[in-house]
Structure 1
């Protein structure tokens, strides 16, 4: 493994420009496309590893992500010096990754303590009801929270069925993504917008119609598809008739505490901050993250162990997300630097594509490019990137450019469902389903499934008068 890392380092260094210089900040305008190769390599590893060498990947995915991260940091050291590399890395880890993973950890832990028991058979109508419930819950308790509460009972209900992977695919699309479009609590990119000045209820008031249309059509497609599979399958035994019960209800106030902590961090502005190698850590955000960890620990303390055991709860899904997304947040550093350089960077073509000849933002282009990049770059940093490309002024974006903000919001949330890495809950749901015996599609298999379902729907959303991207603005 070390030999391959050395070869890759030498290959990238051979392709990089031959001027290395130190700078106070990472100069994205002076960087060229080879700096994005480690990020591309990490994405390919995530896509192909479980497919081509599953056993090796399962045991060494953390080391593989770390190798690509080390390659990224080595290239940044060569380009800009050790001090700038360290500042960029600290900013990625403390300024972006830390809050991201702490929130996911808290939601995963607390939701994992809620146990739904009883006899539930995975019929098309039962499955559709669970998907609809999760879609409605997602904007209140977050896509991660809703997914972690409902995924295990849904898996148990569908395990006896020979065709069940499609149920989890639609669960990822609806509960782990689309359902979170109506509040900053629902999906990380909208939370990023909230922290940058977007009103809490802005998405609720401005994209509720589009979200209802997307969710309604998806549920209708699912019913037809699940009925088709269900009628081909042999009749399953009816089983017992134990009533549905919810255990671990002490975790519901803890979910409310998570929501309150997030709202507190946005409303409370003490003006106190700490500087860590150029990264500004504000007191309210540090307090929020500490509270989230305490809430998670309270859940572990208050929830009976048998509830988590019955849930099949373990730390591997969140461990996998933590390791892989640490690699993603590191390897994406040069990519974001080049994108932030705008017309002066290696991705100047992208800035031109989302801008009309008269200088106005192209709303359809923002929708598609925010969405497609969210599918592969993670939707939270992608949302922020296009938020800044569109000017970064929340008042203007909520006013005269509200169509652009809607396009960015919908693209980031909806199209985060296109791949396993578009939104963090996607990976966790797929990992839990695989562990519980459901044969989930590979990275590319899921991409084909999701693309076949979603791309026609996004085209409909873009062009048909029934759900125009632009009419409401």
Structure 2
């Protein structure tokens, strides 16, 4: 395949980036149709190139083998987290805000960046709504709770779950990039605390006075259900019954089908066991996960020819990219993988970008966890950390911004947020590249 087959994928991602910015109302009402159109163009091109049967088989494989488990996990985490309600008076002081951001960062690898964001964003907004300077609080919340904090497990961030589905060990990122994550998150929390304290001193004390209502956490059954999600995912990684079903060439393994079915059951239990008023108080609705489901169905379809071109190696249309991340001797350049994966994740969404570079590095999880562990670490860090650089880098980013805007906090535009996040994070990524703490440095 030649490069024109990648145009639908590029067009889809540009639509996601520019649609809400240039024609917000039209995009909001028709984003599903726009995404589906790009997916249909992809399938038509595949049918023209390889025949209808091959195009249908590729489409079924993309949806059943890649997309299904991805969206079911997001759906379960979103549903269960939406049933946890934090009430009471929380004053938006620098100490309180830093503690909430730290908590979100810590729990993100357990409940997912979507779960952490949905649990804490509304209490954080309520705590800071009266402050005249509060936008920076939400920007750092997106960076930390909705992105960086999810780097330590497949439950944390969609790209890592994609890697898990490809065979990466569940605790691999926990063991291999905990130090880098601690350094990045620690630096970000210190920077935020300094900025928030400076802003707070310039505000009138009355802006942060509360009524003294005690803080309470309701819907605690959902914490048990989150633990069930974690346990279910772990069991599916270890239980290998050796049973699979062939669907038009796609092998569906029994343990994965059981895992996804149980995730749907857990989400249903959350809806059944949680009082409706908890979700109403959270402002819970299905639109964010509906948007993610539609857009990612199209993304996983449109990326099929891109993956095929990457699999062609140096002779394929993306040979230039392979040359950029590989030395003349054939060894991977870890620093190049980190920056290419990261910067593309910021604009192309981090889950498909992770998948793209995972395949570019060979796609063999055993090799990537072994002799090429530095490459897998670079891909993982780039995809997770730099997903925070734009609103479209990770699914929860837009959710948090939309909720904040709805509650009266005027969030920056697409490019305004990008500049603010980049000013904070790019220097940290340069520091991470230079620090002698990982094989990331072995080939730069």
For the superposition of Structure 1 and Structure 2, which TM-score range results when normalised by the shorter chain?
A: over 0.9
The two structures have a TM-score, normalised by structure 2, of 0.93
| Distance in 1, Cα, partners of 2:16 & 2:234 | 34
Counterpart of 2:356 in structure 1 is 385
Asked if 2 retains the 8 angstrom alpha-carbon contact of 1:50 and 1:442, the reply is no
Q: Where do 5+ consecutive residues of structure 1 fail to align?
A: 1-30
Residue 143 of structure 1: which of 100, 110, 113 is its match?
A: 113
| Distance in 2, Cα, partners of 1:135 & 1:127 | 12
Match of 1:106, SS state, is helix
Moved more, 411-420 or 423-432: 423-432
Asked if 1 retains the 8 angstrom alpha-carbon contact of 2:17 and 2:392, the reply is no
Match of 1:469, SS state, is helix
Asked if 1 retains the 8 angstrom alpha-carbon contact of 2:391 and 2:397, the reply is yes
Counterpart of 2:220 in structure 1 is 249
| Distance in 1, Cα, partners of 2:322 & 2:214 | 56
CA deviation profile, 1:61-97 (whole Å, cap 9, x unmatched): 2222222222222222222222222222212222211
Residue 315 of structure 1: which of 280, 286, 296 is its match?
A: 286
Counterpart of 1:407 in structure 2 is 378
Given the superposition, is the C-alpha separation of residues 95 and 464 from structure 1 closer, same or farther in structure 2, using an over 3 Å criterion? same
CA deviation profile, 1:285-340 (whole Å, cap 9, x unmatched): 11111111111111001000111111111111111211222222222222222222
Counterpart of 2:12 in structure 1 is 42
Deviation at 1:370, TM superposition (A): 1.9
| Distance in 2, Cα, partners of 1:169 & 1:221 | 12
Is 1:325 the counterpart of 2:296 in the alignment? Answer: yes
Q: Where do 5+ consecutive residues of structure 2 fail to align?
A: none
Is 1:61 the counterpart of 2:31 in the alignment? Answer: yes
Given the superposition, is the C-alpha separation of residues 94 and 218 from structure 1 closer, same or farther in structure 2, using an over 3 Å criterion? same
Counterpart of 2:275 in structure 1 is 304
Is 1:162 the counterpart of 2:132 in the alignment? Answer: yes
Asked if 2 retains the 8 angstrom alpha-carbon contact of 1:210 and 1:461, the reply is yes
| Distance in 2, Cα, partners of 1:166 & 1:49 | 25
Counterpart of 2:344 in structure 1 is 373
Match of 2:441, SS state, is coil
What is the RMSD of the two structures over their aligned residues, measured on CA atoms? 2.2
Given the superposition, is the C-alpha separation of residues 320 and 391 from structure 1 closer, same or farther in structure 2, using an over 3 Å criterion? closer
Counterpart of 2:332 in structure 1 is 361
The two structures have a TM-score, normalised by structure 1, of 0.88
| Distance in 1, Cα, partners of 2:37 & 2:366 | 42
Deviation at 1:469, TM superposition (A): 3.4
Match of 1:358, SS state, is coil
Moved more, 363-372 or 432-441: 432-441
Residue 210 of structure 2: which of 230, 236, 239 is its match?
A: 239
| Distance in 2, Cα, partners of 1:340 & 1:233 | 56
